[in-house]
Amino acid sequence: MSDFEPLRLGLIGCGGMGLRHARAVADMRTAGHRPVEIVAICDTDEGRRARVAALLSERTGREPAQHASTGALLDDRRVEAVDVVLPTSLHHATVLEALSAGMHVLVEKPLALTVSACDLIVEAAARAGKVVASSENYRRLPGNRALAALIADGALGRLDTMFVRNFAPPEPPVKRGEAPVESPGWYRARTHAGGYHAMEMGAHEADLQEFWFGAVDSVSAEMRAFGRSSSPDATEDLLTATFRFESGFVSNISFASTMRGFEIADRLLIGEAAVLSSAAWHEWQNGAVTWADGSRRSSDELVAAWLAGLAPDARERLLPDGAWTRGRDGSVATDPLSYGVGVAIHDFARAARTGTAPEIPPDRARRAVALCCAMMEAARAGAPVRMEQVLSGELCAAQAALNHAIGLSA
């Protein structure tokens, strides 16, 4: 049980990700943990609303009010905060509307489609005095938190470079070897998602890398579309990028989604004292640590040792009981508490109830979007770009069509 009164939450968006958030709330309740109660839901599709309402009614014993529009949900007096789980192109307008209605706001990653849209959210949140938080989940996984702790402690010595690969079919499975899971069409539409690799996947990568290694200084990138879609709005099929950090560390990224019947996702981090490998992209797991003297230890053992050594207050802050559970197969998207979703919701509710800062406030989420946009700007320019140029708005040519699509262009 959380040590604060459950936050009365309105869920805006009942698609696949909205259903995942509803499941996380239901799973937390089953575990005896109630940071929020979903009292109302909203979606333009009656079938999607009914599916989420039925899940919550069966799992929590309380059926939420159903609304067909955001405005109707915001007028519901029972709602004091909202969880925005919509296509990225709708994020900024919905967040601004919710803040104007006096709501605290949790919003799916990425925060918004462009840096300009993020700026509006950051400014509105400051004026409203309300909590706005990103529900980015990857940094909240134990393997990724453990790596951050190892780096902060200097256990790996000077860090030299990292290599990241995520090669998959156009419709990858949730777990390797399983049947493909069809993504919503907007994932592959540039004016709705920004870019499948550069923004939809890139938001995870951007947040993780600055979480681990600090601020990025400059970005180089190349993006390719291989013409397998006839839509002029189709996103890229290939992204390669290099992040150069203020510390001097360099990270190399390769994403592609054109391979049928083949997939590989992994990471390799090279430091002065050790080399760490991971057989997964989303979390450091199923890999190994090789120390400079040749000794080896599995990455899963290292993470388990970090978990076992956490002080109770740190454990409650980073991986609160009931909000995170260890999955049988590690962290899996179909198990939202193992996947960091519950921790994100808990962190938001705690911040809203106690008046403290969430782990990922809007200014930090803005940096992740800016890093994604920096990859787009670098690819368009065919030359490296500085993060400061993107954050300041000096470079925004690659975002012009996206800003126009969401009504922000002159």
Same domain, 196 and 308: yes
Same domain, 328 and 350: no
Same domain, 353 and 303: no
Largest Cα–Cα distance in the chain? Answer: 63
Same domain, 31 and 70: yes
Residue 189 pLDDT grade (very low, low, confident, very high; cuts 50, 70, 90)? confident
2 belongs to a structural domain: no
CA 60, 66, 72, 75 torsion-angle sign: negative
Which of 284, 304, 338 delimits the end of a domain? 338
Lowest pLDDT segment from 107-116, 174-183, 258-267: 174-183
Q: What confidence score (pLDDT) does residue 55 get?
A: 97
Q: What confidence score (pLDDT) does residue 228 get?
A: 63
**Contact residues for 35 (Cβ-Cβ < 8 A; gap 6+):** 2, 4, 6, 7, 28, 323, 345, 346, 349, 350
Same domain, 65 and 192: no
**pLDDT of 85-97, one tens digit each?**
999 999 999 999 9
Same domain, 351 and 280: no
Q: What confidence score (pLDDT) does residue 225 get?
A: 85
Same domain, 184 and 101: no
Q: Residue 28 maps to which CATH number? A: 3.40.50.720
Q: What confidence score (pLDDT) does residue 128 get?
A: 98
Same domain, 218 and 319: yes
Lowest pLDDT segment from 1-5, 304-308, 349-353: 1-5
Q: Kind and range of the H or E element at 275?
A: strand 274-278
Give the mean model confidence (pLDDT) for residues 12-35.
97
Number of domains composing the chain: 2
Answer whether residue 207 shows pLDDT above 70. Answer: yes
Residue predicted with more confidence, 237 or 184: 237
Q: What confidence score (pLDDT) does residue 178 get?
A: 58
Lowest pLDDT segment from 22-26, 129-133, 299-303, 377-381: 299-303
Residue 337 pLDDT grade (very low, low, confident, very high; cuts 50, 70, 90)? very high
Same domain, 165 and 23: no
Give the mean model confidence (pLDDT) for residues 291-305.
94
Same domain, 297 and 317: yes
**Contact residues for 264 (Cβ-Cβ < 8 A; gap 6+):** 165, 166, 167
Same domain, 347 and 242: no
Q: What confidence score (pLDDT) does residue 217 get?
A: 98
Answer whether residue 174 shows pLDDT above 60. Answer: no
382 belongs to a structural domain: no
Residue 173 pLDDT grade (very low, low, confident, very high; cuts 50, 70, 90)? low
372 belongs to a structural domain: no
Give the mean model confidence (pLDDT) for residues 128-148.
97
Domain that holds residue 44: 7-138+343-360
Q: pTM (2 decimals)?
A: 0.95
49 belongs to a structural domain: yes
Which of 303, 338, 373 delimits the end of a domain? 338
209 belongs to a structural domain: yes
Q: What confidence score (pLDDT) does residue 180 get?
A: 54
386 belongs to a structural domain: no
174 belongs to a structural domain: yes
Answer whether residue 219 shows pLDDT above 70. Answer: yes
How many Å from the N-terminal Cα to the C-terminal Cα in the chain?
49
Please name the amino acid found at residue 324: W
- Residues 276 and 99: their CA atoms lie apart, in Å, by 43
Structure tokens at 147: 């790596």
- Residues 169 and 262: their CA atoms lie apart, in Å, by 7
Q: Are 104 and 359 in contact (CB under 8 A)?
A: no
Same domain, 71 and 199: no
Q: What confidence score (pLDDT) does residue 353 get?
A: 97
401 belongs to a structural domain: no
Report how far Cα 54 is from the mean position of its chain's Cα atoms. Answer: 26
Q: Residue 240 maps to which CATH number? A: 3.30.360.10
| Residues recorded for the chain | 410
